[in-house]
Each structure stands twice: as structure tokens, then as C-alpha cells.
Structure 1
């Protein structure tokens, strides 16, 4: 009789934790001869050049057709376009509007067109180096997309959809099996950009995480051993009243795999991905209401006798027609070093407001309820070391009550330096934000596939923090490498909360 293990998601998470006693033994020197190229090339197909439509003040014909091209061009550029060229080891690294761990950019962006007057039916790959769409398959595949997505209602009236895939080796080359975490955090950054860029350009993306993986991979003609679909986003055109659609269900469950063999190092990532897939023929098992997950009415943690500090504040202003938001998406960079100086409590409150209170931005034409997979599963803790008018310590952020609840009184600079693998960003930051989730409870709701959802949601929140910090001239940098278990022990975070992502904030040096 086969041995019963913990679920494969639990197994993966435990096995890819960084531990101070074993990390140095596992570290390997990178083989630079095998460094992956973060771009995809096609030898055949026809190209649609988007560069003439990239900026609002670019002279283009004042026609409905030109305006449509301008909107799709700006959406893609703000989401994943190249924003800078940096020299690196005799070569160059091209930075994009969405951050990526190690500058490896594992995500690929595809467009599926139902067939419109301007965009013929078929499959397109977004070529960010040339800011163009490569039309590499010219037949209608929309019905196949609908079937693979269990006939999701958002695909009934929309004409185009974004599909995001991951090219696994791009991250695994550097981060090995733990790369799976970073791939989905990076995709979450991209989802955050798509959400905001869509609002700027009168689109509404409808997030779909529940689909038949094999069917989407086959539809895109990708090699599932090297690349896999991870999110589908039908784009509703808000200028077409028929496409003003109600939100649909974003997340569907997969199986929970407990019967698995010993998996050698280097094979865990691909094995885990394969066993979080939804298989064809499971429609009956996925008979769930087509509505978004209801928000719980109260925040998860209400520690007795803790100090409670309100965080409600004035919304960040993003300028006429959101021009400041577009500029911020273009100039955003991860901070490389902090000075150790304080930030203000007003700045921290504004960052939290933009990230967790989107309803406060409806008057600026931003989506008041953007799609996530399930934010009820994500918790937020903040280690404060240098925020004016806020005592040092660890706080739980309660987004529904809009308050900080202090759980430990201490300056954690030395400990944060250690927890972040000796990175000075942890030591010199004014505040460090931790996104966590109760993995056991999450798997009980969504099966092992929830590991994808959790990290994409954490990355999405992280990208909103990135953009808000950039707008306020606060330094910001995400950290995906940390001593997992020690974070809970040092900061007093409940032990059942698995740490997903860290975002550091401070004054740039």
C-alpha cells in the first residue's frame, strides 16, 4: 500500500524553504553559458507593429481604428514593455515595466483574437523587444478557448483575451526548484500592471485561473515540458456596452495529490506544476457558482489587548486621465540600497490605501474591485523599523478595519538583515511588508493549485505597493528569498502562516 504523504503543495513548500543550516551547502555557481534568453522568437508569421501608437501624443489618424490600436498598444507596453537597457557583463539587460526576480522574465504574453475588423482571428505573441504582435496562427480558436475555460461567462461577449504562460527554465536556471514561487510572484506583478493599464485604456480584464491546462497549452502550440499556461484574461472593452460584464469566478480547485514518489532535486518544479493542473473531463467536479469569492466581513486576526492604529487616509492622486500612473509604470525601478532614514507614517498609510482599498480610487476611473483569485487567503504583517510617529515593532494590517494591530514591540533591523539572507535591503529598510497565507486551509479549499493563486495574488499586491511607492518617491524592492520558518519565529507571526513574499520600503541611498 503506498505511503500517504502531505499534499504535493505542502511538500513543495517545505522542501524549497531556505534554512540557514543548509542554504550554503545547496548554493551553486551559475553556468553563464546556459543563461536563458528572456525573449521568444518566431521564424514564421506576420507582424503587427504597435510602436506608432505607443504614446498618447504620437500623431495618429483621428479615427476609431487608430484609437483602438493606440489603446491596445499602450496597454501592452505599460504592462510588459521594455523600459530601459542596462549594461551587464559585456552584454545588456532589458528591463520591463513589470519587475522580475533576477531580471529573468519567465512570463510570456499571448493574445487570442476572436476575429475583429482590426485584429484577424488566431494567436499572437507579444514581442516586447520590437513592441509588436506576432500573428503565428491564423485560424479561429475562440471556441476551443471557451471550452478549455469551462465556458467562462466573460468569454461570451469579449473579442480578445490575454494568456500568460511561464517559461520554466528562465527562472529555474538561477533559482532551481524554488523558482516556481518566483515565477508566480512575477506573474502577479504582471497581473497588477495589466489591471491598472487596462483601466487607463478603457478595458476591464477578467481573471481566469481555472482552466484545462493541457487544452490551453495545445491551443497555444507550446511545449508543456518547457512552458505552461498560468492565467487567462479576457479583455472587456468598456467602450462597448455589451462588454460591460459582471465579474465571474476567478479560481477553481484542482485535485490534492498525496500519492507521489520520491522526486529528485531539479525535477520538483515540473512535477509540481504537472500535478496542479486541472484535467479535461472534470466539469462535473467544478460545478461551482460563477461569482467572485465573497469577502469575509472581518479581518482574520484580532489580537487581544494589542495597540490599534487607524490607517484611513487621503487617496494618492494619479493626475488628469491617470497620466501620473502611466509615467510611474514606466519609471518604476527596484531600489538597490536604502539610506536607513525614516519614511513618514502618512506615506505608509498612502501605500496601504492604494494597495488594499481600491474602492477609494473609483473617482479616478480605476477599478474599485479588481480581480484576484482569493484575497481572503492572504494576510499582511509589517515590521516597522523607521516610520515617523509609529513605534518600532511588528504589526498585523487589518484591511477591512483599516488599522494596524501591533503584535511585537521591538526594532528588528538586525533580525531582518538575517531573515532576508543577509541582504542590506532588509537591514536598512524603514518598513518590511510580509504577505502570508495559511497553506493548509488554502489547500483544503482549492487543492494544490492554490499555490499558484496565492503567489500571484501576493505578487499583484506587491506591484501595487511598487507603483504607489514610486509615485511617492519612496524606495521599494521585493524579496523572494528568505529564511521561511525563522520569519514566523522572530516576528511573532502565527506559525500556520506560510510566508509568500516580502516587500521592503525605505529611503533610497
Structure 2
């Protein structure tokens, strides 16, 4: 058994850190012939082709309009946008980025029974942009029970469930893949949020549910796939609005596991995920610790540090958010930067879209999008090349809307090293680091906090992705880095566990 009272979440995070001394052992040769398929197939079920509804010609027919909104929502969320030829299996790119192009998520839909979709279970087939109706019985009451009778499910007819097929990522990234899977799912949540706004749905994010009940509803093989999030979809077309106040929190804690056996490499991911599950169907047994009011204030407010305001006007996505939809569909991860500077105005716009959702109302976006708990996420920015902004490490204070410099230094070479020698770290104008106090998060939400933290970090990362593409900048997320050295180099407190890095810069253009 473990010899210290260390939560399995903390144990997992420490075990899956990259270290300079051992990183070579992580770079094992891959057997490409054994790479899992990134598409799930169903041999039975009725298929609904959604491709025809992407055309504008259906806009005058009311029923077709409903199909068009659903079709556009799904293609914005996780649709295919390109096919890249390789020496082996082609690489299919989607609207949401994924580490290594492995796309571990699956998107399911549950219908209560609508004019479009009969009641039952559906899987989104991204390779054909279709929905396959693989189970025709009503399961909505089972979904409600699994989600602790969440009130939002009383007033909605559709729900999306995102799942993770673990082996798709573990094949390459081994036990550390769990981090990347949650970040990738966070990217998907960002797309779902914005795709819903474009198509007149309001998504309500549910993170607290009885995991095994959801698995049974979807007929998942628990050894291969597991539910990660539930999103209830409220139709807000024709001025429909929610008729009650949704619950303030839709996440619950899991247990904190401190008594666990030695776990072999290769088995840690599966063991850890099971430890994050909620198993008890009685929500009254759960309690979430209340936050200290002082913790709700922006941190690292040193009296003499350089402070730079980031207040700016919100991005204009044009009528009907058409520019946002086009940005989602053309998004690509940048492969190389020129090393040229960003402007301070560009950085301000990136931060505004990512963190200042109160400004969304000016652009027809939801000013109160759902996250799990952003109070647990901290943001640091390493500035290497931003015009009118001194080089160094800054803490971003979202409530005050300002950057607070905590270290003076040009970090280009160190960032190259921290990002495992990737030139993206060296040549970017700025790198955004999302961190969290892991012990504080576990105390609040149990080991399941690890999911919530990485899902929120990925969600924020996708906002940065889309804002950067809209501004004609380069952007790429990095999930592989030397964890401890990030804190040392940037001067970030050691209790801040690094979750995710997003690089931003001027992209190199191919001739």
C-alpha cells in the first residue's frame, strides 16, 4: 500500500511528469501497424446524413432549418476539416485539436424524442458527418437518474455525452495520455459551447454523474471507453428561454483515495480513471467545501511589480457569428513560428476573448458559459516577443484585467528546453501556462478534480486557439513539458501544477 497520505490524483501527476534524466525512456519506437482507429463503427442502426443540411438552400424550410442547426453544431464541434496523406493511414484533421492527431473523444447524443430525432441513442460519425441511431428505446429517465435528477434535464430534449477511448492516446503517450485526453476533451467543450451559440442552443455542462450508469446507458465497454462529460442542449431558437434557474454547480466530488496498491506502468491510467469515478447514486452524500472569500481575488498582487492593463474591445465575429464559424472550420495548429513579435493589442484581444466572457453579450455570445471551476485555474504568460511589453513572466489577473510581472528575463532558450526541445517554445512571442494548486483542488472535489482542471484548461486553450486564428496568428498547444522545471524557470510557486501550455506567435507561411 502507499506509505503516505498522498491522493491518487497527486500520485498520478507526480508519476507522469517528464524529467530531463528519464525523458529518453519515454521515446520508445511506435508500432504504427497497431495504432487504434480514430473512428468508431456501428454495424447496425439507422444513419441520418447531415451533409445535405450544410447548404444554405434549406434555410426557408422550418424543419430543414432545425436539421441545419444540428448539422452545423456537430461539424463545428468535432467535424472533419481535412485529410492529410501519410506513408500509412491518412491523418484526418478535425475542428478541435488533438495531441498527435489521435482524437480520443467520441460524441454521443441522447434524444428524448423530437421532431428530428426519435428517442434513443446516437453516435456522431465524423468521418461521414452523420448520426447513427444505434438504440431506439427511451433512456432519458436513466440519464436523469445518472445525473442526480439534474433540473436542466427536466426542460430539455437533447443531450450530448462526450466519452474517451483511452487506447487511442495511450498507444502513443502511455500513462500520461490521461492528461492529454482531458485537454483534448476540453478543446471539444470549447467548440460545443461556441457551436451552440452559433446555432441557437444553450449548452449546460454536467460533470457530476454516476459514471458506470452512463456507461451502461451507452453500452460502453468499460475496459476501453468511459463517459467524461454530459451536456444538456436547450433549444433557444424563436426566443425560447430557460424557465428556471439552473443549479449553480453541476459537479460533485469523488472520493479521495490515499490507500492504493503499487501500480505498474501501463496500468496507472486505467486505475486512476476508475479512482475518479462517482459510484454512489445518492447526491446527498456529497459535499463541496466552500471557498475562502479571499481565494476569489486575483493572486500575486505584489505592490511594486509592473502592471499592464489588458482591457480592450471584444472581437467582432460579424452577423450571425459567421466569422466565428469560419474560424472554427479553418483552425489549424501551427508547426513553426518566425520569431517575430506579437503586438500588445493582439495579446489583449486574445486574453479578452478567452477570459472576459462578460463582454460576449456585445457579440451575441453567451456571457455566462459553463466551466467546471475556473477559480482553481491560474494563468501565467512568458513573454519573449510582444511589442511594448517587457520580456519576462507575468501573472494574468482576469478580474482586474491586467498583467503583473513576476520575473524579468528573456526566456527563449529556457522555453525551448522546457518544451522538450520543440522550436515552438523558442520562437513563440508568448506562451500561456495554465496551472492549478492540485492539493487545494483535490480537497474540494476529490480525485475527480484532476478531470475538471484539465477539461477547463483545454476549454480555455481552445478559446486561445480560435482567437489567434481569427487574428491571423499562429497557435499550438503543448501537453508535453518538463513539469518541475517550468516552475523553477518561470518563478511559479511549486504548488502550482502545470496543466497546459499554449504557444502564440507569427506563423511561418509555406510557399
Structure 2 counterpart of 1:27: 27
**Partners in 1 of 2:20 and 2:220 — Cα distance?**
38
- State the secondary structure of the residue aligned to 1:207: strand
Mapped to 1, the partners of 2:205 and 2:243 lie a distance apart of 15
Instruction: String of CA shifts for 1:272-322, please: whole Å, max 9, x gaps.
Output: 000100003332212679x99999652122123211110001111111111
Q: Which residue of structure 1 lines up, in the alignment, with residue 184 of structure 2?
A: 186
Q: Which residue of 2 aligns with 1:201?
A: 199
Post-superposition CA distance 1:449-471 (Å, at most 9, x none): 00000000000000000000000
Alignment of 1:158-237 (within 5 A): 158-237=156-235
Q: Give 3-state SS (helix, strand or coil) of 2:164's partner.
A: strand
- The CA distance in 2 between the partners of 1:92 and 1:26, in whole Å, is 25
1:16-61 deviation per Cα after TM superposition (whole angstroms, max 9, x unaligned): 0000001112321111111011000000000011111124x2x126
Structure 2 distance, partners of 1:296, 1:49, is 49
- 1:490 is matched with which residue? 489
1:352 aligns with 2:351: yes
User: 1 CA distance for matches of 2:33 and 2:305?
Assistant: 54
The answer as to whether partners of 1:80 and 1:98 remain within 8 angstroms in 2 is yes
Q: Which residue of 2 aligns with 1:408?
A: 407
For residues 169-215 of structure 1, the C-alpha deviation after alignment (integer angstroms, 9 at most, x for no partner) is: 00000000000000000000000000001001110100001000000
Residue pair 1:310, 1:402 contacting (<8 A) in 2 also: yes
Paired residues for 1:255-274 under 5 Å: 255-274=255-274
Which consecutive residues of structure 1, in runs of 5 or more, have no partner in the other structure?
none
Alignment of 1:283-298 (within 5 A): 283-286=283-286, 297-298=296-297
Q: Counterpart of 1:432 in 2: which secondary structure?
A: strand
Q: Distance in 2 between matches of 1:398 and 1:171?
A: 33
1:407-486 aligned within 5 A: 407-486=406-485
> 1:66: how far off?
0.9
Taking the TM superposition and a 5 Å limit, the aligned residue runs for 1:49-448 are: 49-55=49-55, 57=56, 59-60=57-58, 62-239=60-237, 241=240, 243=242, 246-248=245-247, 249-286=249-286, 297-448=296-447
Comparing 465-474 with 276-285, which one deviates more in the overlay? 276-285
Contact 1:54 1:77 in 2 (8 A): no
In the aligned structure 1, how far is the partner of 2:434 from the partner of 2:243? 32
Give the whole-Å Cα distance in 1 for the aligned partners of 2:252 and 2:59: 44
The change in CA–CA distance for 1:494 and 1:304 in structure 2 (over 3 A counts) is farther
Q: Provide the rounded CA distance (Å) in 1 between the counterparts of 2:413 and 2:206.
A: 41
Give structure 2 stretches of 5+ with no counterpart: none
Say if 1:244 and 1:196 are closer, same or farther in 2 by CA, change over 3 A. farther
Q: State how far apart, in whole Å, the 2-side matches of 1:128 and 1:245 are.
A: 34
In the superposition, the TM-score normalised over structure 2's length comes to: 0.96
CA distance, structure 1, for counterparts of residue 305 and residue 394 of structure 2: 9
Q: Which stretch shows the higher mean deviation, 349-358 or 232-241?
A: 232-241
Counterpart-to-counterpart distance in 1, 2:3 and 2:434:
33
DSSP 3-state at the match of 1:232? strand
For 2:365 and 2:293, the matched residues in 1 are separated by: 21
Classify the secondary structure of the residue corresponding to 1:333.
coil
Counterpart residue number, 1:500 = 499
How many residues matched?
Answer: 506
Kept in 2: contact 1:236–1:244 (CA 8 A): no
Contact persistence 1:312–1:353 (CA under 8 A): yes
CA distance in 1, matches of 2:236, 2:291: 20
Q: CA deviation at 1:2?
A: 7.2
Output the CA distance in 1 between the equivalents of 2:59 and 2:300. 55
CA distance in structure 2 between the partners assigned to 1:334 and 1:477 by the alignment:
5
TM-score, normalization by structure 1: 0.97
Distance 1:247 1:37 in 2: 38
**Equivalents in 1 of 2:294, 2:83: separation in Å?**
42
